[in-house]
Amino acid sequence: YPSFLRAPLKYDRISSKFQRKRFHPILKTWKPHRAVDYAAKRGTPVYSVASGVIQHRKRMGALGNTVYIKHGSNYVTVYAHLSKFARGLKPSSKVKKGQVIGYVGSTGRSTGPHLHYELRYKGIRRNPLTHPLPKQKQVASSDFWRFKNKANNILRSL
């Protein structure tokens, strides 16, 4: 099963998909949109889609309040336009899959409350709706029991 959640929040609708050319509602010009915008009520909790480490947690111009999370060596996820950050988040702190990292807002260059969500694989922005997500490796049952027995032996000897 995937080690990433499909979406980082409970949303009403997708207001803007990942696309090469989109008419920007504020700048009134055609620009690529390499993210997915999830429309949701202001204050809706936003979750980390996978376990990782906070890279950035700050206000970033047009993106407004933004959180960058690094997941292993290949993936980074970006969550922008947040109304506020979850308490206790700071760069280099660890987050778990499904942990609240912030709340939907409209900070930065935004026309209404939504989450701007990016998925970056090896530094390149990918479509979060179609990019194949990494699978969580499962331990073979034979290996699992061998591990469990070894762990129990160690625990008994303590």
Q: What is the pLDDT of residues 27-82, one digit of tens each?
A: 788 777 789 999 999 999 999 999 999 999 999 999 999 999 999 989 999 999 99
Res. 1 pLDDT band, cuts 50 70 90: very low
The pTM is what?
A: 0.79
Q: What is the pLDDT of residues 112-154, one digit of tens each?
A: 999 999 999 999 999 999 998 877 777 777 788 888 888 899 9
Residues 6 or more apart whose CB falls under 8 angstroms from that of 9 comprise 38, 40, 44, 45, 46, 47, 104, 115
Contact in structure between 67 and 31 (CB atoms under 8 Å) = no
Element (H or E) spanning 59, and its range?
strand 52-59
Gap between the Cα atoms of 156 and 85, Å rounded = 44
